[in-house]
Amino acid sequence: MSRWYVYCLGDEVTAEMVEGARGLDGAPLSLVGRGDISAVVSAFAEERVPVTPENALTHNRVNAALLARSTPLPFRFGTLVAEARLLDFIESHEAALREALARVRGAVEMSVKIIWDLEAVKREAVGPEPEASKAEGEEAAEGATATSEATSEAGGSGTAFLLAKRREILSGEALREKAEALAGWFGGRLSDLAREARVVVNPKGALVVRAAHLVGRGQVEEFRARVHQLGEERAGSLRFLTSGPWPPYSFGDVRP
Amino acid sequence: MKPVEPEIETEHAGEFVAELRRVADALPERINVDAKSVEQGLAKLVLTLIELIRRLLEKQAIRRMEGEGLTPEQVEELGLALMKLEAKMRELKGQFGLEDEDLNLDLGPIGRLI
């Protein structure tokens, strides 16, 4: 059964916009739709779409080209679907798709990523890790001899193990609180420029915040300048990466 | 059609490339459904549940230790039991080629398991 590779869908997309344009493996783009909602597709013969830089860039190039003249809802990379199923999806999800299209209309996605100094934040949160406790936490389970003060009081490696675990849990909780406070500060300073935000916080990693913002096209430069300003305010402790404008990849979630 | 060209702005490109590569490397390109991967998938599921219970037990033990309702001998005994459980889990993870991150669970509002 032949299937289409699907890039995006929209209610402003016209055949003229995709005329002469090519997608994965150089296949010509065409439209498949119901009423004024059309999906941008190209023929794809294989069972699966190889995850290669070339294919990922082509997926984005098609969506970015559509973004220049409309606001499409992008599909997830690698979506292959039979025409009948795609049409059925559009028909049965029409109300939700219209709502999603209205939400993103006139906007683009701006991505911001933040790296923090994880080791410094850990030290600040719970103080430097005592050598003995570190050794017990890591090695007690393998039968290492416990040597901490607490151990000598209580007398064994089981107690040392629990004390090390207690410290580990407290450190995890403190990190989570700090990461959420950071995300709150950052989100609050951008809230007037973003219609919506999707924020992923990872307190245990150096890449602590990954955020996607839905920003009106007219406010992209202001958004960029604001993030730059935030970066300067926290230049000693945080590192920022801003990218965009992208098609609203994080705000569509369309899956047939 | 002329695409909208995204711009990337950072003064720390090298660090972001390294971190993003680490995230990307953790994601499987695709999941194979064959006898071996099904067995490993099942082991992963079972070990994830055991890991969840093990961590709950650890937290419970620490709460009891902080509550001072246990004698030093009881604390020691509890610690030794949990230590052995952790060692056993490490052994099982090794047998199935699983890392800590493989046993992670998103527990919604209370965060991730690991």
- A140-188 pLDDT, tens digit per residue, is 444 433 344 444 455 689 999 999 998 888 888 889 999 999 999 999 9
- Contact (CB<8Å) A158/B62: no
Search chain A and give the residue with CA nearest B24.
A51
pTM of the shown model: 0.76
Which of A70, A76, A162, A237 to mutate to test binding with chain B, by most B CBs within 10 Å of its CB?
A162
Owner of token pair 């889990």: B89
Sort strands B7-10 and A3-10 into parallel, antiparallel or unpaired: unpaired
Residue B68, C-beta contacts closer than 8 angstroms, at least 6 positions apart: none
| Any A CB within 8 A of B86 CB | yes
Residues of chain B with C-beta less than 8 angstroms from the C-beta of A113: 16, 19-20
Residues of chain B with C-beta less than 8 angstroms from the C-beta of A66: 1
Write the secondary structure of chain A as one string of H (helix), E (strand) and C (coil): CCEEEEEEEECCCCHHHHCCCECHHHCEEEEEEECCEEEEEEEECCCCCCCCHHHHHHHHHHHHHHHCCCCCEEECCCCEECHHHHHHHHHHCHHHHHHHHHHHCCEEEEEEEEEECHHHHHHHHHCCCCHHHHHHHHHHHHCCCCCCHHHHHHCCHHHHHHHHHHHHHHHHHHHHHHHHHHHHHHHHHHCCCCCEEEEEECCCCCEEEEEEEEEEHHHHHHHHHHHHHHHHHCCCCEEEEEEEEECCHHHCCECC
> Over pLDDT 70: what percentage of chain A?
88
- Whether this model's ipTM surpasses 0.90 comes out as no
Search chain B and give the residue with CA nearest A180.
B111
Whether the Cβ atoms of residue A38 and residue A54 lie closer than 8 Å to each other: no
pLDDT at residue A110, rounded to an integer: 97
Residues of chain B with C-beta less than 8 angstroms from the C-beta of A53: none
Q: List the beta bridge partners of residue A199.
A: A211
3-state class of B80 per DSSP? helix
A122 band by pLDDT with thresholds 50, 70 and 90: confident
Search chain A and give the residue with CA nearest B74.
A159
pLDDT at residue A128, rounded to an integer: 64
Owner of token pair 């490397």: B25
A125 band by pLDDT with thresholds 50, 70 and 90: confident
- Contact (CB<8Å) B29/A51: yes
- Contact (CB<8Å) B72/A228: no
pLDDT at residue A148, rounded to an integer: 42
Which of A215, A241, A250 to mutate to test binding with chain B, by most B CBs within 10 Å of its CB?
A241
- Contact (CB<8Å) B1/A51: no
- Give the C-alpha separation, B78 to A72, whole Å: 58
- Which region among A100-104, B73-77, B97-101 has the lowest average model confidence (pLDDT)? B97-101
Interface A-B, measured as beta-carbon pairs within 8 A, has a size of 124
Q: Is A188 exposed, middle or buried (0-12, 13-18, 19+ CB in 10 A)?
A: exposed
Enumerate residues 18 to 47 of chain A having a beta carbon within 8 A of any beta carbon in chain B.
Answer: 18, 21
The average pLDDT across A53-66 equals 94
Enumerate residues 205 to 244 of chain A having a beta carbon within 8 A of any beta carbon in chain B.
Answer: 205-207, 224, 227-228, 231, 239-244
pLDDT at residue B112, rounded to an integer: 65
- Contact (CB<8Å) B75/A66: no
pLDDT at residue B79, rounded to an integer: 93
| Any A CB within 8 A of B91 CB | no
- Give the C-alpha separation, B58 to B55, whole Å: 5
Residue A114 has pLDDT above 70, yes or no: yes
- State pLDDT tens for residues B47-91: 988 988 998 999 999 988 888 788 999 999 999 999 999 999 999
